[in-house]
Amino acid sequence: MTNKIDPCTLVLFGASGNLARVKLYPGLFRLDSLGRLPADLKIVGVGRQVVDLEAWRADIKSMLDAKFKKGYDQAVFERFIARNFYHANPPTDPDAFSKLKATLSDESVFPQNLAYFLSVRPVDFAPVVESLANVGLTQEDKYWRRVVIEKPFGTDLPSAKELQAAITKHLKESQIYRIDHYLGKSALQNILLQRFTNTVLEPIWNNQYIDHVQITNTEMLGVGDRTQFYDSTGALRDMLQSHILQTLALTAMEQPKDLSPEGVRDAKIKLLEEIRPIPVSELEKHAFRAQYAAGEINGEKVPGYLEELGNNDSVVETYAALKLFIDNPRWKGVPFYIRTAKRLHEADTRISIRFKKAPLQINDQDQNWLIIGIQPRECIKLEVQSKIPGLDVQTRTIQLDAANRWDSDDSVDAYEALLLNLMQGDNSNYLHISEAEAQWRLVDPVVKAWAEDKKPVHQYPAGSRDPEASKVIFEAEDQFWRYSIELGGDK
Contact footprint for ligand BG6 (CB under 6 A): 151, 219, 238
Closest distance to ligand BG6 from the beta carbon of 273 (Å): 23
CB-wise, 83 or 243, nearer to ligand BG6?
243
CB-wise, 304 or 335, nearer to ligand BG6?
304
**204 neighbors 353 (Cβ within 8 angstroms):** no
- Give SS3 for 352: strand
CB-wise, 151 or 465, nearer to ligand BG6?
151
Closest distance to ligand BG6 from the beta carbon of 396 (Å): 34
Closest distance to ligand BG6 from the beta carbon of 225 (Å): 12
Closest distance to ligand BG6 from the beta carbon of 238 (Å): 5
CB-wise, 238 or 444, nearer to ligand BG6?
238
Distances (CA, A) of 369 to 27, 244, 386: 36, 20, 14
b/e burial code for range 378-406 (CB count within 10 A of at least 16 → b) = bbbbbbbbeeeeeeeeebebeeebeebee
Say which of 170, 181, 212, 243 is annotated catalytic.
243
CB-wise, 314 or 479, nearer to ligand BG6?
314
Distances (CA, A) of 199 to 193, 205, 374: 11, 11, 22
394/385 Cα distance (integer angstroms): 10
Q: Is 243 a catalytic residue?
A: yes
4/389 Cα distance (integer angstroms): 56
CB-wise, 86 or 230, nearer to ligand BG6?
230
Q: Is 20 exposed, middle or buried (0-12, 13-18, 19+ CB in 10 A)?
A: buried
433-452 and 157-168 are packed helices; what angle lies between their axes, rounded to 10 degrees? 150
Closest distance to ligand BG6 from the beta carbon of 345 (Å): 16
Give the sign of the dihedral formed by CA 27, CA 28, CA 33, CA 34.
positive
Closest distance to ligand BG6 from the beta carbon of 472 (Å): 25
CA neighbor of 317 nearest in space, from 464, 457, 448: 457
Phi/psi at 197 (5° precision): -105, 5
Closest distance to ligand BG6 from the beta carbon of 206 (Å): 29
Phi/psi at 285 (5° precision): -90, -10
**14 neighbors 2 (Cβ within 8 angstroms):** no
Closest distance to ligand BG6 from the beta carbon of 288 (Å): 19
Q: Is 287 exposed, middle or buried (0-12, 13-18, 19+ CB in 10 A)?
A: buried
Phi/psi at 362 (5° precision): -85, -55
Dihedral angle over CA of 153, 158, 162, 165, nearest 10: 100
425/115 Cα distance (integer angstroms): 10
CB-wise, 326 or 374, nearer to ligand BG6?
374
CB-wise, 317 or 383, nearer to ligand BG6?
317
**372 neighbors 350 (Cβ within 8 angstroms):** yes
Kindly report the number of other CB atoms within 10 A of residue 409's CB atom: 11
177/349 Cα distance (integer angstroms): 25
Strand 145-149 versus strand 176-178 pairing type: parallel
Closest distance to ligand BG6 from the beta carbon of 490 (Å): 23
CB-wise, 238 or 383, nearer to ligand BG6?
238
CA neighbor of 25 nearest in space, from 6, 9, 39, 12: 12
Kindly report the number of other CB atoms within 10 A of residue 345's CB atom: 20
Active site residues: 243
